[in-house]
Amino acid sequence: MTECKLKGPSVKRIPEGDDRERLVCPDCGFIDYQNPRIVVGVVCTWQDKFLMCRRAIEPSVGKWTFPAGFMELNETVSEGAAREAREEAGIDVDVQDLIGIYQVPSVGHVMMMYRGVMRSPDYKAGIESLEVALFDWEDLPWDDLAFPSVEWTLRRYHAVRHEKDVQVAVENAVSHKFK
């Protein structure tokens, strides 16, 4: 079914065979299914340093994060993480294992976070970054991180940094405040 050209989805109701309220077009019956978005990210390291990007966009402009963003169509999750690293920090990274899934139902995000090794120490700020820098663990800008998911993922990375086979951890962000 194609999207209605008349009024469009404007009435909230539970469609037949469904179990939750959705926007429905009263003219053609088109149902607007809104589903969570997948965010992909990669904790990038060069030797024992962590690459961080200061955000140039909202939300949390001016705050620090590792490369992450929305997955695009026609890419795998790890390809998306590598693309975000190129776009935000101008780096090529060998995306390794998935270390965690961070769920934020309040904003409809499922975040899939990897660890990865930079192919060179060269980096540059992309259009979504004000600046990019390498930090030692103890010098990470803990008080200036963009989101609770950034801190959780960095700490998860640190906890499994010496493990070869990492079991994926799942964190539900219901109790965390989304900035």
* Closest among 43, 9, 172 to 106, alpha carbons compared: 172
Domain that holds residue 130: 37-175
CA distance 65 to 51: 9
Reading phi first (left if > 0) and then psi (alpha if -120 to 50, else beta), residue 72 is in: beta
84 burial class (0-12, 13-18, 19+ CB within 10 angstroms)?
A: buried
Statement to judge: residues 2 and 90 lie in one domain: no
CATH code at position 13: 2.20.70.10
Residues 75 and 131 in one domain: yes
- Which of 76-85, 119-128, 134-143, 163-172 has the lowest average pLDDT? 163-172
List, for residues 56-98, the tens digit of each pLDDT value. 999 999 999 999 999 999 999 999 999 999 999 999 999 999 9
pLDDT in tens, 32-50: 888 999 999 999 999 999 9
pLDDT at site 170: 93
Residues 71 and 139 occupy one common structural domain: yes
Copy the structure tokens of residue 113: 């976070």
In which band, very low, low, confident or very high, does the pLDDT at 178 lie, cut at 50, 70 and 90? very low
Domain count of the chain? 2
